Amino acid sequence: MYIWLLYYNTSSSPGDDERIYTLIIPNFAPDSNLSLKGWYMTEFNNTANTYVLPLAKISDMPKDKVQVFIDPSLIGNPSSFKYLTCVMVRVNSTFLSKHQII
């Protein structure tokens, strides 16, 4: 799973009108018990506390890298932005199940 935190200011003064978005790009293993398989993406607008893009399948993910294209209008058309990235790696899908663990 990849998590990208995108942020930028809409004015020239630091701290004024900061916009923050989170892109979540999970991969669901083909041998898991989940109904979803493959790569997906969702986008959350942290500033407005709402999803901009619901969970959507990425059908053309390359085999040798993670590559997604984001419509700039989904993040407010900034001229530039800063970002932080977090990567989580699953070593196997044995424990992936749609049953809730109590």
Distance, CA of 64 to CA of 22 (rounded, Å): 24
- Residue 38 forms beta bridges with which residues? 28
pLDDT of residue 82: 94
pTM equals 0.77
CA distance 62 to 102: 37
Mean pLDDT within 59-75: 90
Give the residue with greater pLDDT, 77 vs 92.
77
Give 14-55 pLDDT, tens digit per residue: 656 899 999 999 998 887 788 899 999 999 999 999 999 999
Q: Per-domain residue ranges for the chain?
A: 2-87
CB atoms within 10 A of CB 6: 20
